Structure 1
Amino acid sequence: MALQINIDNGGTLTDVCIMSDGGVKKTKVLTTPYDLSKCFFEGLQKASEVVYGAADVKRLLEEVDLIRYSTTQGTNAICERKGPKLGLILDSGSTTLPAALKAHDPEVFEALVGDRVSFIDLAKLDAPEAEVEVVKVINQLAARGANRLVIALGGAGFLEAEERVKKIVLRKYPRHLLGAVPVLYTSDLTSDRNPGRRAWSALINSFLHPSMEAFLYNAENRLREFRTKNPLLIFRNDGDASRVAKTVAIKTYSSGPRGGMEGVKAFSALYGFRDAVSIDVGGTTTDIGQCTDGKVAEIRRGHVEGISVSFPLCEIMSAGAGGSSIFKVKDGKIAIGPESVGALPGPACFGRGGKEATITDASLLAGLFDPASYFGGGMGLDLARAEAAVRSNIAEPLGVDLDTAILAMSDAFEAKIAEELHRFTRIGPDTVMLAFGGAGPLNACGVAEKAGIRRVAVPAMAAVFSAYGIGSCDVSQGYAATLEDRSTAGLATALDALKRKAARDMFAEGFEEGSYVVSARLVTETPEGEKVFPLGDKPEFPAALASASTVELELTAVKSLRQDETRHVGFPRKAEAKADGQRKVLVVDKGRIELPVYRLASMAPGDHAAGPAILEEDYFTARVPAGWGFVVSEAGDIILERED
C-alpha cells in the first residue's frame, strides 16, 4: 500500500490517520479555528513523528503518495450560523420565493439572508436602463450589510437572464477593484430548474465558500512549497474526492461525517451487520447515519439542515450536541447546544479560558477520564476549572449538589442523542449502533439503552474513524445538463460536450483518458417520483421521455482507488480480560465506587468482561454500565452487548 495520510478536520480536534504497508496508525491535534492551515500542518508534523519517530514534515511530504482531507467546518458553520452576510437578488416575478425559502428553515434563512433581498425586473435587462437597474439593486443590498451576493433568477430562461446580469456586473464591478462584492449565480452551480433548490444551493455555497477557500488554497500552496508528489485531495459529501480547484464549497458540507459513513459501510461488511446506525460524536455535533444491507442512504436532491438542495448528498443528520457543546439551564431544565466552545477556548477543563459547562467537564468530574492519560497523555485536565463551570452553570441554577448535576448532564446528553436517533433512523431488534468520534464511545451504552438498542460496536479506530473512512475514496467529477433537444442526435451532442468537460477536468486531476470510467444516465422527475435511464455505449433517447417536463443528462467520470473489503471476522469469547487498574467513578444510585479499567492495547482478540467498567484507549474512553458486557473481536474492535 502506498503511504497515505487522511486528515479529518473537526470543530474541536483534527484527526490524522496514516495508512501504509506497516499498518494503520493515528494521531490528533487541536483544531485552530482562527487558522485551519495551522492545525493541518501540526497534524502533518505529528504524523511524521508517528512514521519516523521524530518530526520530519519535509521527508513525509516528499514520500507521501496521497493526502486526503475532509472537514466538519461546513456542518459546524451552518449549525452555529457563523459566516458572511448574504444578499439575495431575485427576479420581480419571484416575490413569493423568499417566503417559500424561509419556510424550509426560518432560522437558517434569517442567519444567512434576513431582509437582504432585492428584485430585478427581467424586462429591463434588454432595455437601456439595464445597468442602472442592476447597480441600484446591488447598492441597496451592500448598504444593508451584504458582503456576498447570490443571483437566483427564475423562469424557463433563467440561464440566459443570469448570463446577461453577469456581463453587467463584470462591467460595473470589475473583480480587480478593491472592495468588489463577490457574486454567485445559481446557474454557475447547477441547471436544476427548481428555483427553491437552486437558490438554497447557491446561498449555502456562498455562506461556506470564504472560509473553505481561504484555508484550502493556503494549505495547497504550502504543500507545493514542499514539492509534494500529488495535489491535496478534498473528500466530498458524495463519497469521492477531487482537487481543491475542482471542488465547490457546498460539497464540503458534511464531508467529514460522510467519511465516517464510508467507514460504517466497510465495518458492516467486515462483521456482516445488515442494519447499523451510527453516532459520530465530535466536539460540536453528533452526526447520525444508517447503513442498511451495505448501503448508505443517499438521495439525488440532498438535504442541508433539512433544506432540499440540488446536489446528491448522503442522508446524515447533524445534531448540535458534542463533547464541547455548551450546557446551560433554561426554565429549570438542562439545554444542550447548538453553541459550542470549540477548540478555543475549549471545555473549561482544558484550562484555556473556557467557563461554560460541557459533557467533557462532567465526564472528568465523574471520574471517567484519567487527567494524566487523556488525549494520549498530551493534555493535562484541570478538575478545579471543570468543577467551577459545572457548579456555576448547572448545579446552582438547578439548586442541586455537584454529583447530581453531573449525572443530570450525562442523562440529558444521552437522551438528546437517543431522541435524534429515533427521529432520523429506523431502529429494529437487530440494529447495531456504531459509536465513534473522539466522544462517541463515552456514553454509547447509555444512548443505546435509551434508544432501545442492545448491541454497540466501537471500532479500534473509533477516535479517527472518519479519517480512516476516507482512505478508500475514489477521485471523480460529476456533470449535469438539461436536455433541450430530445432526440438521439441531441443526446449525442450533449453527451459529447459533457465528456469533453470530463476529459479536461480529469486531466487536471492527473488522469489521462482511458484511465478512468465514464458513465451517464438520463433523469426525469414525475408525479410518481424520479425515473432513471442508464445510458450504454450506444445511447439512444428513450421514447418514454419525449413528453417529460424536464430531462437531465448526468455524467460521472471516476478514477477508482477503492479496495473492497473481502474479509469476514467474528467476536468469539475466549479469555476473561484482565483489568489494568481501577478508578473511582460516579455511578447512578451508588455514588463514587471503584471500577476496573481495561486498556484496549493490553487486550487480545476474544478477551471479554462485564460492566460496570471503563474501557480506555489513547484517544477515547467508554463507560460500560452494569448489565452490559464487552468482547474484543478478531480484528481488535470492541463489541458491547446488553446481557440481561
Structure 2
Amino acid sequence: MARIGVDVGGTNTDLVLECNNGTFFHKVPSTLKDQSIGVVEGIHQICEIAGIGKEAIEVINHGTTVATNITIEHNGAEVGMLTTKGFRDILHIGRHKRPHNFSLHFEVPWQNRPLVKRRNRIAISERILPPTGEIETPLNEDEIRSACALFRKRGITSVCIGFMFSFLNDAHEKRARDIVLEEIPDAYVSVSSDVANVIREYERFSTVAMNAFVGPRSAWYLRNLEQKVKEGGIPAKLRVIQSNGGISTIDGCARKPVSILMSGPAGGVLGALSEARLAGTDNILTVDIGGTSADISTIAGGEMRIKNPRDTLVSGHAVMAPMIDLETIGAGGGSIAYLDEAGGFNVGPRSAGSEPGPACYNRGGTEPTVTDAQVVLGRMDADKFLGGDLPLDPELSHKAIKEKIADPMGVSVTEAALGIIKIVNNNMALTIRSNSVARGYDPREFSLMPFGGAGPFHGVALAELVSARDVLVPIAPGITAAMGLLGTDLQYEHTRSVITNLFQADQSAIGRVNAAVADLQAAGKADLENDAIPEAQQNFDVIAEVRYHGQGFELRVPMPKEGLALENVPDVIRAFHKQHKADYGYSFDDSLVELYNVRVIASANVRHLELAPLSLGSQDDTKAAFMYQRETVFDDGSVHMTPRLDRGKLGAGIRVEGPAIIIQHNSTTLLPPGYAAEVQDFGSLRLSKS
C-alpha cells in the first residue's frame, strides 16, 4: 500500500510518500494559477523517486490553502443572501467589538470588506420563535422567487440562507434552498442550519456567508484536482485535511469549505506533534515558516488545542468552525522588505510567493525578501537550494537589497540583510508570545520546533527571543506539514444548540439533550458509512460546550460516555469548573452552569505514518557528512568560516558543534556558534547551548 501526503503552500508544494520501499520526501514549486497542476506533477515525480508505479497509490491526503487565500485576497464569489425580514443588517452590525481597542485608525473587516453586499441581502417574510421553534410567520415563497429573479439578473449564482432561530427549526431554510435550486439550478447554495446549526445569529450568518463566499472556487478546485488525479492515471482516494486536524472527503469539503479554511496550517501542527512524541517531548512551540507566512501554535502536554469559538476569525470575519488553535502572520522566506513613506523599515506581510519569487530566483522579482537576506549573509548556498534543483543568483539578491534598503538607509548590504532577519524574527516572536505567554504558558518549559522550508534558519534566534528551553528540528522540516497529513484520522463534526440549565435540569431536559446527541451521532454515522467505514471502526466522541449563566462563550468538556443522566450532571459541572480554572486561572464554583451546545465528533482511525529509527552513528559521521565550508554571517554580525554538513549522513546520537550549516533537500538548519546539535533516535535534531 502506498500513501501520499501533499501540502500546497504559497511558494512550494510538499510531498511525502510512504510505501513498501520506505518513506520519501519531495518538493516542487506551487502553480498558483491552478494548484492542481503542481500537485499532480509532484505526485508523478515522487513516484519516480521511490521507484513505484502511480497505480500503487491508494490514498492521497491533501492540505490546501485555496479557501484561505480567497479570504486573504477577498476575491470570492458574488454572494446573494436570503434572511429574515428585519435582520438584513446583522452582517453589517456584527458584535460592535473594536478590532483594536485603543486605535483611532482601524478598519472593520465585516463592514469594509463585506462577504455579502447590502444590495444582495434580501429580507424574506418568515419568523420562527424561541424556545420551541414554533412558526409565527409562514415562509413567503413568492418573495424567495422574486429574490432569485433579482439574483439571476445580477449574475449571482452563490446564495446563502440564514433565518432567525433556524437552529430550533430548519424547515424554512430547507424549503428556501429547494426553491432557490428550482429557480437557479446551477446555484451554489449554503444553508446556515447545515453549516453552523447553533445559536448566535451574527456568527451563524457570517459562517454561512463565508461558506458561500469561498464555496464555488473551493469546490471547483477540489473537483478539478480529483479529475486531474484520475486523468493522470492515479487510482487513489483523495482526502482533504480540515481545520480541526481531521480528514474528510472531496464532496464533504466542497459542500462545506469553511471546514478547510485552515487546512494547510493544520497539517503542520499534526506533523510537529507526531515528531515531538517520537523525541519524547510533550511541550512544543510550533513555528511553520514557509515562503509566504508563518503559522504558530502551542502544544502543551502532548495535546493540540482547539480554538475557542470567540477566537475563530478568518480575515476578520467570524467563522464558527472548529479549528486548531494557531496564529498566522505574513512572515516567510518570500516576505518583502521595504521602506515605507515615512522611512520605516518593514518586512512583510507582502510576499513575492513563488512567481516571481525572491530576487535570487531570477524569475523577474526585483524586491528584496528574507530569502535574499539569507543568501547575502552566506547562509543559503546558491548551488544547493532544493538540492541544486533551483539554482539561485546571489548577485540579484545583493542588487535588490542594496538598491531598495541599504543605499536609501546609508548602511552596508550586510547590515541591511541582518536588519531584515532581525525584523522578521521579532515579528514572529511577538506572535509566539501571544500564543503562549498570553495564554498562561511559560516558554521556558517548551521546546521550539521550527519547520517549513525556512523554519530551521530562524529556530535558534526565535528560541532566544522567547526564552524557549531548546530547539527541536524535525527530520524533514520542509515536508513536516505534508507528513502530518499522513498522521491524522478521518473525522466529521456535527453540532446543535440545546440550552439547558444543568443545576435545574430534570429528566425531560436531559432527554432533550440525549435526543440531540442521538441525532448528531446518526448524522456522523451516515458520513462514515458514505466513506465505507465498517461499523467496528467507527468512533464517536461527544463534547459538551458549557458556560456560566450569562457568560459570553463556552468551554469544551467531555460528555459522559453513557449519556447525560441526573446522577452524572454534577460530574459535567465539576469538569467545567476545572477547565475554566485551567484556561483562566479561576472558577466560580457556586455559579449556575449552562449546557449550551452538544458536539459529536465522528471519526475512524487510519494507519499513521511510521518513521523508522536511525542507525546508531559514530563521530566519523561528521567527517563523512562534511561537504565544504564557506564564510557565513550570523545574527550577532560575526563572520565565521562555516562547514556545510549533509544531514542524511548523520546517525543517531551524533553531536555537532556550531558554527555549522546542516543541509538537506527540503530545508537548511542554521547552527550558530555556541550551540550544538544532537541527532535524536528518529532523526530529529535537538539544538541547545553547548
The interval holding the TM-score normalised by the smaller chain is 0.7 to 0.9
- SS of aligned partner of 2:180: helix
What's the offset of the Cα at 1:408? 0.9
Does 187-196 or 148-157 show the bigger shift?
Answer: 148-157
Distance 1:588 1:353 in 2: 29
What's the offset of the Cα at 1:387? 2.6
* Match of residue 516 from structure 1: 538
Amino acid at match of 2:667: F
Instruction: Say whether the 8 Å CA contact 2:198–2:204 is kept in structure 1.
Output: yes
2:599 aligned to 554, 566, 569, which one? 554
2:470 aligned to 435, 449, 455, which one? 455
Where do 1:57-76 residues align within 5 Å?
Answer: 59-60=53-54, 62-76=55-69
Number of residues paired by the alignment? 630
Distance 2:258 2:91 in 1: 21
Does 428-437 or 508-517 show the bigger shift?
Answer: 508-517
What TM-score, normalized to structure 2?
A: 0.82
* Match of residue 365 from structure 1: 376
1:150 aligned to 157, 160, 165, which one? 160
CA 1:567–1:230 in structure 2 vs 1: closer, same or farther (change >3 Å)? closer
- SS of aligned partner of 1:214: helix
What's the offset of the Cα at 1:5? 0.7
- SS of aligned partner of 1:154: coil
Does 329-338 or 458-467 show the bigger shift?
Answer: 329-338
* Match of residue 259 from structure 2: 251
Does 592-601 or 414-423 show the bigger shift?
Answer: 592-601
Amino acid at match of 1:196: Y
- SS of aligned partner of 2:457: coil
* Match of residue 37 from structure 1: 36
Does 121-130 or 563-572 show the bigger shift?
Answer: 563-572
Distance 2:175 2:400 in 1: 57
Distance 2:184 2:595 in 1: 35
Deviations 1:150-187 (A, max 9, x none): 3333346673443454344334x3224xxx6x442322
- SS of aligned partner of 1:471: coil
2:661 aligned to 599, 609, 614, which one? 614
Amino acid at match of 2:257: A
What's the offset of the Cα at 1:65? 2.4
Distance 1:329 1:141 in 2: 47
Does 188-197 or 517-526 show the bigger shift?
Answer: 517-526
Instruction: Say whether the 8 Å CA contact 1:278–1:434 is kept in structure 2.
Output: yes
Deviations 1:89-138 (A, max 9, x none): 54443345513257475454333438536655554686897635774598
Instruction: Say whether the 8 Å CA contact 2:31–2:38 is kept in structure 1.
Output: yes
Where do 1:417-456 residues align within 5 Å?
Answer: 417-426=428-437, 427-456=442-471
What's the offset of the Cα at 1:34? 0.4
Distance 2:150 2:534 in 1: 46
What's the offset of the Cα at 1:409? 0.7
* Match of residue 111 from structure 1: 113
Amino acid at match of 1:510: A
Q: Does 1:577 align with 2:622?
A: yes
CA 1:308–1:574 in structure 2 vs 1: closer, same or farther (change >3 Å)? farther
Amino acid at match of 2:305: A
1:477 aligned to 477, 492, 516, which one? 492
Instruction: Say whether the 8 Å CA contact 1:300–1:311 is kept in structure 2.
Output: no
What's the offset of the Cα at 1:24? 1.8
Instruction: Say whether the 8 Å CA contact 1:120–1:134 is kept in structure 2.
Output: no
* Match of residue 638 from structure 1: 685
2:94 aligned to 93, 100, 107, which one? 100
What's the offset of the Cα at 1:418? 1.0
CA 1:542–1:351 in structure 2 vs 1: closer, same or farther (change >3 Å)? farther
Does 415-424 or 221-230 show the bigger shift?
Answer: 221-230
What's the offset of the Cα at 1:142? 7.7
What TM-score, normalized to structure 1?
A: 0.87
1:221 aligned to 219, 223, 227, which one? 227
Distance 2:642 2:389 in 1: 24
* Match of residue 581 from structure 2: none
What's the offset of the Cα at 1:22? 3.4
Q: Does 1:277 align with 2:285?
A: yes
Amino acid at match of 1:11: G
CA 1:429–1:162 in structure 2 vs 1: closer, same or farther (change >3 Å)? same
* Match of residue 103 from structure 2: none
Where do 1:296-375 residues align within 5 Å?
Answer: 296-299=304-307, 301=309, 303-305=312-314, 308-330=318-340, 331-375=342-386
Distance 1:11 1:192 in 2: 34
- SS of aligned partner of 2:68: helix
- SS of aligned partner of 1:371: coil
Distance 1:379 1:581 in 2: 19
Instruction: Say whether the 8 Å CA contact 2:498–2:596 is kept in structure 1.
Output: yes
CA 1:69–1:150 in structure 2 vs 1: closer, same or farther (change >3 Å)? same
Deviations 1:446-480 (A, max 9, x none): 22222222411111111100111121211122223
CA 1:437–1:589 in structure 2 vs 1: closer, same or farther (change >3 Å)? closer
Distance 1:478 1:280 in 2: 26
Root-mean-square deviation (CA), in Å? 3.5
Instruction: Say whether the 8 Å CA contact 1:124–1:130 is kept in structure 2.
Output: no
- SS of aligned partner of 2:204: helix
CA 1:150–1:128 in structure 2 vs 1: closer, same or farther (change >3 Å)? closer
Identity %: 23
Q: Does 1:190 align with 2:196?
A: yes
Instruction: Say whether the 8 Å CA contact 2:357–2:363 is kept in structure 1.
Output: yes
Instruction: Say whether the 8 Å CA contact 1:88–1:113 is kept in structure 2.
Output: no
Amino acid at match of 1:517: N
